[in-house]
Structure 1
Amino acid sequence: MASGSEQNAPTAPAAPIGLEALEARLRQDLEWLALPGKSWTPKTERDGVPVLDVAIIGGGQAGMAASVALSHLGIPNVIYDQSPLDYEGPWATTARMETLRSPKTLTGPALGFPALTFRAWFEAQFGLAAWDALDKIPRMQWMDYLRWFRRAMQLDIRNEHKVLAVLPRADGVVELKLTSPQGESSVLARRVVLATGRDGLGGAYVPPLAAQLPRARWAHSSDLLDYATLKGKRVGVVGGGSSAMDSAATALENGAARVDLLIRRTELPRVNKGKGSGNPGLVNGHQHLPDAWKWRIRHYVNAQQVPPPSGSTRRVSRFANARFLLGTSIKGVAVNDGVLQFDTNRGRLDLDFLIFSTGFKVDWSVRPEYAAIAPHILTWRERYTPPAGDEDTELADSPYLGPVFEFQPRQAGAMPGLERVHCFCYPATASHGTVSGDIPAISDGAYRLAQGIASLMYSEDVEYHYANIQIYEEPELIGDEWTPAEWALPSGEPHR
């Protein structure tokens, strides 16, 4: 038996096992659980054209999590993403934070598999000591993890496929019009999942002020912008959230002469109310709340605003040529000799370039691929009127979704098949909570989506499945497992 000193002796830090060993463990875990599941849905065609069970639009973390959850339930699926291979999502393109704000311990899209977590991926390469020393996850390291996730799970992602149109049909399928380097094509699917991210049903929000500026002199923080072109320029950033800090810091790091953050609030918010609301009760219960409570919770979090991460804010503060102009609002702008002259409540401010870090909005007009379905989608605006003072444009414009994230029609029967399109991106938050994009509960959302789709598909095909039950003939007894007993009552004895 070990002595007390031996029992309490610290163990040596675990050495890296390598990704090959981690992937072997992951394969073993899946094999032990008999995953992915065996396909059980009927093969479907329309006029000789094969029909996919599920087509997923978007190959970022939400689309990949949805794909794995569906596959584990035996539902074949294909992902279409407009980005080149390994550039799905914003991480390697428009995102500019140094690290994620989420705690490193969150399991994200791992769907309950320890070997599929970021921590497992990180420790396999760098060891336990490096994990313990890690504060927040570097942005590009998260991108590398997602690239590995795709390969480890052998996901069917068709890159450089842009969706031109989503067309529900009355015959039980949705047609997707696509374009790729090979040309235009069509795909039929029984269900379509929109896993299209933060701006999934619209695009960047810019205030009316932008219309008064030359287009070459401003950008939104989500734009593809070469920040090296800002070297030596006076740059303004409208907003005080995380993307504002990231944009300001990136401009400063690329040699901007000065960066002014124009922030209407007199103080930056300091408490992340969204983080305070995160628990399994809300994750699983938000969808079942009355509309009034859904609105009240989400509006409160929106109104309080999410503070920028401390690290992102300090990243800006490191520069002496950065200014936090709190309590500043823009009243007007003029352009003279190439200089943007802003009239603010604190006086005139001259800039060479302006970045709007003003978030996103649902805006069907900038998403022509949804032109056919947009007029028919029921929104919160049509279903709920908040108390005076609790108005919220983001929530009002959000789709009013069914229990499986499905779009619902404004008028019954106006667009047959609309409910076959599932909104698994940020605008689902009003109806389902934050389970369709953000790292903390993405696995919960993916399983909710997959289980719901499995239920719907079984119901649609119940006659097919019942027929399969009837013709199922695999015997479990072959007839020689027993010998019938001969037995008769003695004559005259009553039956008991």
Structure 2
Amino acid sequence: MSTQATTTIEPNAGLAALEQRLAQDLLYLGLPPRAWVPPRTVAGQPVLEVVVIGAGQAGLAAAIGLAHQGIAAVVLDRAEEGFEGPWATTARMETLRSPKELVGPAMGLPALTFRAWFEAQFGVDAWAALDKIPRLQWMDYLRWVRRVMRVDVRNGSTVTDIAPRADGLVRLALRTAAGEGSLLARRVVVATGRDGLGGPALPAFVQGLPRALWAHSSDSNDYTQLRGKRVAVVGAGSSAMDSAATALEIGAASVDLLIRRPDLPRVNKSKGSIVAGLTHGHHDLPDADKWRLRQYINATQVPPPRGSTLRVSRNPNVRFLLGCPVQGVEAQGDGLLVRTPRGEFAYDFLIVSTGFVIDWARRPEFAHIAPHIRIWSERYQPPAALHDQELADSPVLGPAFEFQEKTPGSCPGLTHVHCFCYPATLSHGALAGDIPNISDGARRLATGIASHFYREDFEQHFANLQAFAEPELLGDEWVPAELPATAAA
């Protein structure tokens, strides 16, 4: 057994050593740098430099990226501490879908990677044997990242209103256990995940059905209630497989996957798009090329992971019903009757795994800004064959992920709100939520905000330059030479 592998005996000692290494790396890199943003108050109220809404992996990466630029960020999350994001709440996969080698929110620091965290506790042999990262272990890792990077997260804080002001500040209304309150910030970063600008996509056939008989795959549903029941899952993506497997493992009598397509997609085209050129060049592509690439990935669809699919198919009481779109659903007694081209089926419970939509009306905190945000349907009209409603509804974002005004001047300060969640994908590529490029996205966001701050405060910085008086020379470093009189003449 290698020396590193023996850390499985004393895991805390291994992690402590890693944390010392991380602290040394930060010291060697001079991180974080000194604070440089001029402090500001308004009517006696301190103005925060940046507020990040959401303390999941995107929010943590954003806060760390900002800290590396010498910018202080306060991170707000409505969840209780340690349960931010979906990993320990609504996610139901056994492992992450991403390869274990992806570095996620490590922000260029080897000692901050999941691999370093894992090997410090369990050793290199365990890493070599690991296939994919267990979901709950990823959550443990994110909790560690938050702690060692000293991210200022304030849990139990729900943002109820985002209101940009003409003076360039943004007022946030909050609801906490202590009551209603508000904050002022120069910049706000929305890092609220896959459904960050809306919510679940709900098919028309669930409208009017008793809510006790169906759920969306992202709901905080108690799957123990499905024990002994006949369950249908609509869809065949990753979350559909996770929901089906969870229902089966909890003891559902049977599970049918109702799959619209005649076959499952086999190739993850999104995975094939990940190259450094896309990471750094997507935002600068012509609109038509941005649209063509993202529409192609959406249209070909991402297949569920092999492991997730096998987790379902190994159960004898599951059916994959291909070419079986739902044509209608009606309540019948305590159950449901589902109509499809392949016949009618009776179920006790229905799970719709139909993704998410941008829907500002579902997020009241955006009421002030939603009418003024420019979206892609107002910027670009693709050929009819390439129509994609998700892309059409996506916000047009500036180079630092900032929202843009639909009508210039209609909402002063709107560009001080940044969209660092999934709907940024058409404008920037997959930099604002997915594990592979989250650090690249956070760096772009942070350097962009640093640039904004410097330009906005340029007169103050120039005055600071003029007032700078730290002597480099004290006057005793040399003796003036005396020239002979003849030489002077």
TM-score range, shorter chain: over 0.9
1:59 is matched with which residue: 47, 55, 71?
A: 55
Contact 2:213 2:335 in 1 (8 A): no
CA distance in 1, matches of 2:104, 2:335: 45
CA distance in 2, matches of 1:245, 1:428: 26
Instruction: Please state whether the residue corresponding to 1:422 is helix, strand or coil.
Output: strand
Contact 2:431 2:438 in 1 (8 A): yes
1:93 aligns with 2:84: no
Specify the alignment match of 2:129 in structure 1: 133
With the length of structure 1 as denominator, give the TM-score of the two structures. 0.96
With 335-344 and 467-476 compared, the bigger mean Cα shift is at 335-344
Instruction: Please state whether the residue corresponding to 1:330 is helix, strand or coil.
Output: coil
CA distance in 2, matches of 1:125, 1:329: 47
**Alpha-carbon offset, residue 104 of structure 1:** 0.5
Specify the alignment match of 2:248 in structure 1: 252
Letter in structure 2 aligned against 1:340:
L
Specify the alignment match of 1:348 in structure 2: 344
1:53-202 correspondence runs (5 A): 53-202=49-198
1:426 aligns with 2:449: no
**Alpha-carbon offset, residue 488 of structure 1:** 6.5
Specify the alignment match of 1:357 in structure 2: 353
1:476 aligns with 2:466: no
Specify the alignment match of 1:330 in structure 2: 326
2:282 is matched with which residue: 279, 286, 290?
A: 286
Letter in structure 1 aligned against 2:34:
K
Aligned residues: 484
User: Measured at CA, do residues 487 and 228 of structure 1 come closer, stay the same or move farther in structure 2, by a change above 3 Å?
Assistant: same
CA distance in 2, matches of 1:149, 1:430: 29
Letter in structure 1 aligned against 2:6:
A
Contact 1:212 1:333 in 2 (8 A): no
**Alpha-carbon offset, residue 341 of structure 1:** 0.9
Letter in structure 1 aligned against 2:113:
T
Specify the alignment match of 1:15 in structure 2: 6
1:274 is matched with which residue: 263, 270, 291?
A: 270
Instruction: Please state whether the residue corresponding to 2:93 is helix, strand or coil.
Output: coil
1:43 is matched with which residue: 28, 39, 45?
A: 39
Specify the alignment match of 2:405 in structure 1: 409
CA distance in 2, matches of 1:388, 1:355: 32
CA distance in 2, matches of 1:43, 1:335: 60
Contact 1:15 1:128 in 2 (8 A): no
Letter in structure 1 aligned against 2:74:
V
**Alpha-carbon offset, residue 485 of structure 1:** 2.1
Contact 2:400 2:444 in 1 (8 A): yes
Instruction: Please state whether the residue corresponding to 1:303 is helix, strand or coil.
Output: helix
**Alpha-carbon offset, residue 490 of structure 1:** 5.0
CA distance in 1, matches of 2:3, 2:114: 22
5+ residue gaps in structure 1?
Answer: 1-9
Percent identical: 63
Instruction: Please state whether the residue corresponding to 2:212 is helix, strand or coil.
Output: helix
- Cα root mean square deviation, aligned: 1.3
**Alpha-carbon offset, residue 486 of structure 1:** 2.9
**Alpha-carbon offset, residue 90 of structure 1:** 0.2
**Alpha-carbon offset, residue 227 of structure 1:** 0.3
**Alpha-carbon offset, residue 43 of structure 1:** 0.7
Specify the alignment match of 1:445 in structure 2: 441
With the length of structure 2 as denominator, give the TM-score of the two structures. 0.97
1:382-397 correspondence runs (5 A): 382-397=378-393
Instruction: Please state whether the residue corresponding to 1:308 is helix, strand or coil.
Output: coil
CA distance in 2, matches of 1:66, 1:285: 20
1:372 is matched with which residue: 352, 368, 375?
A: 368
Letter in structure 1 aligned against 2:121:
Q
